[in-house]
Amino acid sequence: MPAAQFDYIAPTTVDEAVAALVNGGKDTRVMAGGTDLIVKIRHRMLFPTCIVNLKRIAGLDAISVDKKNGLTIGATALLADVAANKGIRRHYPTVAEAAGATANVQVRNMGTVVGNLCNASPSADNAPTLMAMGATVDIAGPSGGRSMPLDQFFQGPGVTALETGEIVIAVRVPPPPAGSGTAYHSLSQRGKLDCSAVGVGTMIVLNDDQCTDARIIVGACAPVPMRTRAAEKMLIGKRMTDTLIRQAAQTASEETSPITDVRASASYRWKMVAVLAIRALTDARQMALRKSTSK
């Protein structure tokens, strides 16, 4: 089979990248690490006429952790660098864990967190935690910049809210609220060689023993990573006992609409959402309690 043919542009500024996308038209694709894009081209699932590589744009790989402004992960920051970053591991440990749980070492050394989001797979391992923590994406485009909550960014499998000529330049996570705890649990058939069949990311906030906020995001069980709002509501204003966690996890499972595919059956996914939600909520509660006792 002949190799796919396309033009290749490696701009050095965001403005040049946006101009290249606008000039190239709808079959021009952005590339960060290429670990999703090149696979799809090789499998003849995508036929771009031009690829715009972001990796030569200076500063786009920046990671910053700031007490006031929170965490910023630039568009070309590698999964491996996010997983290893000391500031992220200390202040946003679940963000680092999710990046470290994505794929294998080779892919993490090429692929990016932002590419994982822009690929818009329902199973994207970085989406549930970032959504649970209230992340937003910074977007550059022909009409300037805008930002958008991550939970509005995903529109369907492989589809984002990006318009023609737009690129994501960073994902931002606000500082974790006092009393918060986070966790991410996922399952896949072949460990790190395979995308997740189910993933659950949570953030809960405790005040004394009471849960004052809860977010439970389930990956790979709906067309987009989804918030399970009924389950969240069950926790808010109550003591997070083991019984309540089990009930909320069951409700989270009932809110999802998984399909059967190569990774798992729908019925297995339903069962595993409840299991992973119990684990994630229990770990998030543990983290919140640990923080409150070490104040």
Which region among 33-41, 200-208, 262-270, 279-287 touches ligand FAD (by CB under 6 A)? Answer: 33-41
Q: Which one-letter DSSP state was computed for residue 193?
A: G
- Among 28, 94, 119, 129, which residue interacts with ligand FAD (rule: CB under 6 A)? 119
Residue 195 interacts with ligand FAD (CB under 6 A): yes or no: yes
Written as one string, the DSSP assignment of 109-163 is TT-BHHHHHHTT-TT-TTHHHHHHTT-EEEEEETTEEEEEEHHHHEEETTEESPP
Residues 77-96 that bind ligand FAD (CB under 6 A): 79
| Neighbour-count burial for 278-292, b at 16+ CB within 10 Å, e otherwise | bbbbbbbbebbeeee
Helix (H/G/I), strand (E/B), else coil: 65: strand
- Among 28, 85, 102, 282, which residue interacts with ligand FAD (rule: CB under 6 A)? 102
Residue 107 interacts with ligand FAD (CB under 6 A): yes or no: yes
Q: Could you count the other beta carbons within 10 Å of the beta carbon of residue 90?
A: 10
Which region among 85-93, 160-168, 231-239, 275-283 touches ligand FAD (by CB under 6 A)? Answer: 160-168
- Among 14, 20, 31, 96, which residue interacts with ligand FAD (rule: CB under 6 A)? 31
- Please say whether the beta carbons of 202 and 216 come within 8 A: yes
Which region among 66-74, 83-91, 119-127, 260-268 touches ligand FAD (by CB under 6 A)? Answer: 119-127
Q: How far is the CB of 41 from ligand FAD (least distance, A)?
A: 10
- Among 39, 159, 178, 230, which residue interacts with ligand FAD (rule: CB under 6 A)? 39
Q: How far is the CB of 199 from ligand FAD (least distance, A)?
A: 8
Element (H or E) spanning 183, and its range? strand 180-187
Euclidean distance between CA atoms 182 and 143, whole angstroms: 36
Helix (H/G/I), strand (E/B), else coil: 202: strand
- Please say whether the beta carbons of 233 and 220 come within 8 A: no
Residues 167-186 that bind ligand FAD (CB under 6 A): 167-168
| Residue whose C-beta lies closest to ligand FAD | 115
- Tell me the site size for ligand FAD, rule CB under 6 A: 33
Element (H or E) spanning 262, and its range? none
Binding residues for ligand FAD, rule: CB under 6 A, are 29-37, 39, 54, 75, 79, 102-103, 107, 110-112, 114-116, 118-119, 123-125, 162, 167-168, 193, 195-196
